[in-house]
Amino acid sequence: MRVSVLFGTRPESIKCSPFIIEGRQRKHDVKVLFTGQHQEMATPILDFFDIKVDMNMEVMRPNQSLASLSSLMLNLLDSRSDLKETDALVVQGDTTSAYIGAYWAFLNKIPVIHLEAGLRTHNIYSPFPEEANRQLISKIASVHFAPTDKSYDELIREGAGPHRHMIGNTGLDALRMVSQKVTRDYLPPHIKNFLGDKPYIRITSHRRESFGEGMRQIASALKTLAYEMPQVQFIFPVHANPNVSEVMMKELAGLDNLLLTRPVDYLSFIALMKDARVIVTDSGGIQEEAPSLGVPVVVMRDSTERTEGVEKGFSVLAGTDPQKIYQSVISLYQEGLQVQGTNPYGDGFSSKRAWDILEQIGVIS
C-alpha cells in the first residue's frame, strides 16, 4: 500500500510518528510530507523516531495569514505530480494544513484517511479554526479513525463512513514508547537547576482563540498563582508565536518562582509532564496524555472537544477567566486527581489497530 502522511506541527509529528513506524515495519510504502510549520520543535521528534522526510514544504512565512498558508500549500502539493500516484493521503487532527491537505487530495480524487476524527464542540468558532477544519475533513475523508467512543458516536450521528473505526489516540502510542525511559536527566540544565527538588506546576499556552485579551487574562492568573504559592515552582516553555511570547514576557518577567523558557524538545516535554503536580494548558494533546501519567489538568479554554477527560475527573475546564484558573489550580494542587477509571483516550496501541484495519479493507475509493 502506498500512503502519504501529511503533517507539520509538533503535536501532529508526535501523533503521526507511531503510525508511520508501524506502516513501515509492515513493509508498506509510507511517504512523509512535512509542512514545516513547527520546524524547530518537530524535527527533534522525527529524529528521535528515526523518520526521514520525503518532502519538506517549508510553508511558514513571517506574519502569515491562514489564507496565504492555504494558498501556498495547495500550490506546493499540486506542483508534485508524483504525489498524485499515492493510494491514500493521511492527515491528523484539525490544523488548517490538515484540512488543506485533505482538500487537495479530494480535488485529485485521492482517498483521505483521517487520524483523530470525530472530535466536536459544535461551535465552529471555538476552537478557531480547528472545529471547522475537522468537520470539513470529515466530509472529505474515506476512512475515519476516532480516538474515543464519544468521537466515534459523533461520526455516526453525522453519517460519516462506512469506514469509521474507534482505535484510540496515536499520541498515546508515542507516550508509551518514550515515557518509561524519560527522567529529569533529559531536561536542559537551566530547567533542572530551577526546579531543584521542589514541587512544580507545568504551563503551556498557544491557542489562536486566546490571542489578545485571553492571553493577558492567562498571564494575570499565572502571576497571582506565582505570588500566592511561593513554595511551588512554575515552569512555562513559551510558544514562539509573538502573540504569545510578547504578552508572557511582558507580564510574567521577573517572578522568582516562574521560569519563562524556550520550547523544549519532546523528551523534555514528557519529563516535565511526568513529575508535575498540575498542568495548566490549552493543549489538546496534553489533555489526552496527562491521564496516562496521573497528572491533573486545568484547561484554559472556553470549550473542549475532549470532554471525556473532564467527565472522568482528569481535567477541569476553566476558560481564560483569571479567577477560574486560579481556583482550579489551587483545588487540583491540594486535592489531586479524583478520577473514574483509566485514560479514556487510549492504551498506546492505536497505530497497530489502524494498520490492521487498513490491511483488511484495502484501498478505499
The full set of domains in the chain, from first to last, is 2-168+348-361 (3.40.50.2000), 184-335 (3.40.50.2000)
Catalytically active residues, by annotation: 94, 116, 130, 206, 208, 239
Q: What is the dihedral of CA 127, 343, 18, 11, to 10 degrees?
A: 30
Give CA–CA dist 67/64, Å, rounded.
8
Q: Which pLDDT belongs to residue 284?
A: 85
Q: What is the pLDDT of residue 129?
A: 94
Q: What is the band of 365 on the pLDDT scale with cuts at 50, 70, 90?
A: very low
* N-terminal to C-terminal alpha carbon distance within the chain: 14
Question: When comparing pLDDT for 279 and 81, which is higher?
Answer: 279
Taking the C-alpha atoms of residue 164 and residue 146, their distance in angstroms, rounded to an integer, is 7
C-alpha cell at 73: 500549500
> Which residues neighbour 347 within 8 Å (Cβ) at sequence distance 6 or greater?
168, 172
Binned at pLDDT 50, 70 and 90, residue 175 comes out as very high
CA distances from 304 to 45, 109, 319 (A): 26, 32, 10
Contact 30, 3 (CB under 8 A): yes
Residue 363: pLDDT band with limits 50, 70, 90: low
At 208 the pLDDT is: 79
247 pLDDT exceeds 50?
yes
pLDDT at res. 98: 98
Average pLDDT over residues 261-271: 90
**Is the per-residue pLDDT at 205 higher than 60?**
yes
Q: Is 254 left (phi over 0), alpha (psi -120 to 50) or beta?
A: left
CB atoms within 10 A of CB 61: 10
